[in-house]
Chain A
Amino acid sequence: MAHDEKLIKDLEKKANLLRNNCFDIFGSTQMGHGGGTMSIIELITSLYFHHMKFDPKNTDWPERDRLVLSKAHCCEAIYAALVELGVYPKSTLKTYYCFASPFQGHADRWCTPGIDYSGGSLGQGLSFAAGMALAEKMKMAEKNANAPQTGFLQRYIVRFDPAYRSYCILGDGECHEGMVWEAAMFAAKYKLDNLIAIVDYNKFSLDGPTNEIMNLEPFVDKWKAFGWWVTEIDGHDIRQIVDALDLTNKLYGDYRPKCIIAHTVKGHGIPAWETEHIHLGRGEVIMRGIKEGREKYADI
């Protein structure tokens, strides 16, 4: 189903609001993961404001879609969305990095309702999302008297409409971690077609170009070889993002976990951060980027 122009425009406007919330966060500390956060703004916007089932008034809603931000250092983007959704007041943005703030330096489920996963140690999120996806299958079989009683896969991997889906955003750099591929094997073995991995392929990690540090290519083939359905998109093109996400819904029942490889730019939209492929920026470069960003994304 083609999405109308209005939806795309509305989401683009939302993305700008999220960017400005991020600038508030970074400005309050003169610090932040500017690069990786800007590369997932459109992905986070599309998930929260179009695709995922999420109730801002009931963040523990059992049927909400789960979002695991495996690259949890870029939690600023989720905080920006949670504020825009009204889960937290705008004043919370300025408490980032502060003691007892719900906006911790890395996403923390325990102290931040609305966050599904406490990350920061990279490479672990996909396993967690897989566990949640498998739990969904098991709970649905439990509820449904028609589910076969014997055989693990027979019992669980039958086509009920999923109560929820499990989304996981990974960084490209963390795909160097071996356990990402343990999780990839696991998800394929248990036929988790309710699990959707989205890789923010921004081509840069902390020390430099991701594929010079440790080559991931042929990246698409790797996921395919592990038994996943894979598609590639421009991770800054909202139309491509929502089309890909909708397609993963339609493909539910094909017994394959899904991987969306989103080609992105680290620091996207902010010249100061794009040119330096900024990871955790501090001081002048962060403030210069915020100034550039506020001018560029002011028309909202």
Chain B
Amino acid sequence: MPTFNKHIQIDNKPNMAAMGVEKAIIAAAIKDSRIIAVLEDMGFPGLLWFKKNMPDRMIECGIAEQNAAVMAAGLAAEGFIPIINSFLFADVGRAYNQIRQSILVDRFNVKFIGREGVWGETGISHNTVEGIGSTRVLPNLVILNPSDSVEAEKAAEAMLQYVGPVLLRQESSPPSIRIFADDVPFDIGKAYLIKDGKDATIIATGYMLTEAIRAIDILEKDGLDVGILDMCTLKPLDDEAIIRVAEKTGAIVTAENGSVIGGLGDGVAAILSENLPTPLIRVGVEDEFSQSGKITPQKDELKVHFGLSAEDLAVSVKEVIAKREKLKKRK
């Protein structure tokens, strides 16, 4: 069994990050009357609870994401804390310039929850891959991508406490496992070292943390001691933590449920190239859209197609270690 650091409490039962987000939003809404649910006809975390308990703090904008985003900016300018929820392609993608112009320029306190990731039966329109890359480039935006229900609750809490625009990416993926104990500390911009390693480090975000934890088991059987760094905050990236693990193991694999272009892998690669050039492999979606696929515990067509399984990660870890050794010999 791998040895994990403090505050880790692995439970392999299916775990839904969405539940954590819902819990945090309801708890915050009870305490803070500035919190407003802005709907785009695509549901809301705790929708039934809001309908029953706080119908006067729900604003339904219909399928009109551009108006919803900028109207929410107007509410935020007056001191409210609007939360918008939808698929990321809709609440962020359909209102991309509206968010840039009317929210980020003035750092208005609007919160977005955007569902995305390659997994899903719904296919190419909804299972988007470009969410991280297309938003990391935007100034003044904090991006969070929690991995299980505990981290999701903490991330949503932190999002609502932080004053300024935040995107909380909620992944469409198979159920994750439970990873964190309830007392895990959470700070925006701080990565969490889940496990130390000697041979390599996987830097994973969101659902891919679950696959990373599975990969560690596989690699341990092969005699490799591999660390895991959880990168819940995708912007700002914790460059100190990244450099620290690269110094220690000299071989990095990044893992994300989205395009490798502009995503976590690109971010880590840029930080390491500028500070500590380190052999690195980016695991994620190559330059390609997603599609429909069957997802059951027995059969996961998309995981196979995109090479996002624990087995794929284990192969990449071995490859990156081989790269490092090859470089050492050259020197």
A contacts, CB < 8 Å to B: 108-110, 116-121, 124, 127-136, 138-139, 141-142, 149-152, 155-156, 166, 178-179, 182-183, 185-186, 190
Please indicate the chain B residues that have their CB under 8 angstroms from the CB of A179 in the complex: 64, 66-67, 70, 98
Identify which of B33, B58, B70, B77 gathers the most chain A CB atoms within 10 Å of its CB: B70
Identify which of B58, B66, B67, B80 gathers the most chain A CB atoms within 10 Å of its CB: B67
A135: contacting residue among B33, B69, B75, B97, CB under 8 A? B75
Please indicate the chain B residues that have their CB under 8 angstroms from the CB of A156 in the complex: 56
Q: Is B77's CB under 8 angstroms from A128's CB? A: yes
A120: contacting residue among B78, B101, B107, CB under 8 A? B101
* A151 smallest CB distance to B (angstroms): 7
Q: Is A152's CB under 8 angstroms from B55's CB? A: yes
Please indicate the chain B residues that have their CB under 8 angstroms from the CB of A178 in the complex: 66
Q: Is A128's CB under 8 angstroms from B64's CB? A: no
Q: Is A119's CB under 8 angstroms from B80's CB? A: no
B64: contacting residue among A135, A150, A151, A185, CB under 8 A? A185
- The complex places the Cα of A145 from the Cα of B33 at a distance, in Å, of 15
Q: Is A127's CB under 8 angstroms from B77's CB? A: no
Q: Is B97's CB under 8 angstroms from A121's CB? A: yes
* A139 smallest CB distance to B (angstroms): 7
> From B67, which residue of chain A is reached at the shortest CB distance?
A182
- The complex places the Cα of A108 from the Cα of B105 at a distance, in Å, of 8
Which B88-110 residues have C-beta < 8 A from chain A? 97-98, 100-102, 105-107
Please indicate the chain B residues that have their CB under 8 angstroms from the CB of A117 in the complex: 102
Please indicate the chain A residues that have their CB under 8 angstroms from the CB of B241 in the complex: none
- Interface flag for B61 (CB, 8 Å): yes
- The complex places the Cα of A108 from the Cα of B106 at a distance, in Å, of 8
Given the known A-B contacts A151-B55, A186-B61, are A118 and B71 also in contact in the complex, defined by CB atoms under 8 Å?
Answer: no
- The complex places the Cα of A129 from the Cα of B70 at a distance, in Å, of 9
- Interface flag for B232 (CB, 8 Å): no
Please indicate the chain A residues that have their CB under 8 angstroms from the CB of B78 in the complex: 131-132, 135-136, 139
Please indicate the chain A residues that have their CB under 8 angstroms from the CB of B253 in the complex: none
* B54 smallest CB distance to A (angstroms): 10
Given the known A-B contacts A134-B59, A155-B56, are A129 and B74 also in contact in the complex, defined by CB atoms under 8 Å?
Answer: yes
Q: Is B64's CB under 8 angstroms from A186's CB? A: yes
- The complex places the Cα of A234 from the Cα of B64 at a distance, in Å, of 33
Identify which of A127, A136, A150 gathers the most chain B CB atoms within 10 Å of its CB: A127
Given the known A-B contacts A152-B55, A152-B56, A186-B64, are A121 and B74 also in contact in the complex, defined by CB atoms under 8 Å?
Answer: no
- Interface flag for B73 (CB, 8 Å): yes
Please indicate the chain A residues that have their CB under 8 angstroms from the CB of B33 in the complex: 142
- Interface flag for B252 (CB, 8 Å): no
Instruction: Kindly supply a per-residue 1/0 record for chain B positions 104-120, scoring 1 wherever the CB is within 8 Å of any chain A CB and 0 otherwise.
Output: 01110000000000000
- The complex places the Cα of A129 from the Cα of B102 at a distance, in Å, of 11
Please indicate the chain B residues that have their CB under 8 angstroms from the CB of A151 in the complex: 55-56
B79: contacting residue among A116, A135, A155, CB under 8 A? A135
- The complex places the Cα of A131 from the Cα of B67 at a distance, in Å, of 9
Given the known A-B contacts A109-B106, A130-B74, A142-B33, are A124 and B98 also in contact in the complex, defined by CB atoms under 8 Å?
Answer: yes
* A141 smallest CB distance to B (angstroms): 8
Please indicate the chain B residues that have their CB under 8 angstroms from the CB of A182 in the complex: 61, 64, 66-67
